[in-house]
Structure 1
Amino acid sequence: MKPVLRKGQLKTWKDDRGFGFIQPSDGSKEVFLHISALKEASRRPKVGDTVLYDLTTEANGKVRASNASIEGVAPRPLPYKQKPTKHGLEKVIRIAVVGVIAIVAMKFSGSRSPEYSGSRSSSPMTSVTSITKPGCNIKGNISIGTGNKIYHLPGAEDYESTRIDPASGERWFCTESEAIANGWRKSPR
């Protein structure tokens, strides 16, 4: 049985911290709302928004909104995701595609890998390696709603669904200190 969504108005919102409080329509006690409950919202919430949500009680007895949406705001498009497979086919396909792109980029740029050029002192960086930064797995993402530069660590809640678009200024980092030095801050989740 699908839970009945509750409705309320967002009374307070601390955008820099990613949380606020909903005043339920039934007049009951305010409900805590964290940005992570609005996974599919196409924009950040604002005071005065009508919010639809499920009510979840945590182990410590506190209640919070979950599976929330902003009334009248279209959900953001789903991120590109292939269906997971039992044998890791998705990962193999991704690696193969990146490899093909790298070969094509090298062919059109006239570059050759250092093994074939006879010189190891200068390794031309292809457009693919400058985008993916092999071995670097920290994702530097720019928030659509706020323009904030946020980096995501492997294993974080939104890491897998976060896509990096270099054309929008997003990038990969090898270390957290590199991300911070370039003006990015850690994802709150």
Structure 2
Amino acid sequence: MSPTSRSITNATKGFIMTTGTVKWFNSTKGFGFIEPDNGGADAFVHISAVERAGMREIVEGQKLSYELERDNKSGKMSACNLQAA
């Protein structure tokens, strides 16, 4: 992990908070991707996660911290618990 990237453990849930930059987000389609600061695969983000975080929208280039959760139906990972970074 590079010195500029940041991961912290959420002590209450045991999840790792990761920081990243919104690569793109299409509000019409309701989804987009976050590029993690520490490298690796881009994180899918759905509009429902944005709304649950109390955000109206996210925009390209915006820095966020987030956790990853696995969808029970699809088994795919997506960003959740978004926070401005």
TM value normalised by structure 2? 0.71
Report the structure, 1 or 2, having the larger helix content.
1
Q: 1:66 matched to which residue of 2?
A: 80
Higher RCO, Cα 8 Å, sep 6+: 2
Q: 1:18 matched to which residue of 2?
A: 30
> Identical aligned pairs, as a percentage?
31
* Candidates 59, 62, 67, aligned match of 1:49: 62
- Runs of 4+ in structure 1 off by over 4 angstroms are none
Counterpart of 1:10, as a letter, is V
Structure 2 unaligned residues grouped into runs of 5+: 1-10
Deviation at 1:42, TM superposition (A): 4.0
Residue 68 of structure 2 aligns to a residue whose secondary structure is strand
Deviation at 1:61, TM superposition (A): 2.8
TM value normalised by structure 1? 0.35
Residue 48 of structure 2 aligns to a residue whose secondary structure is helix
Q: Is the 1:41–1:70 Cα contact (8 Å) retained in structure 2?
A: no
For the pair 1:32 / 2:44, whether they are aligned, the reply is yes
Q: Is the 1:41–1:69 Cα contact (8 Å) retained in structure 2?
A: no
Counterpart of 1:63, as a letter, is M
Q: Distance in 2 between matches of 1:68 and 1:40?
A: 6
Larger CA Rg, structure 1 vs 2: 1
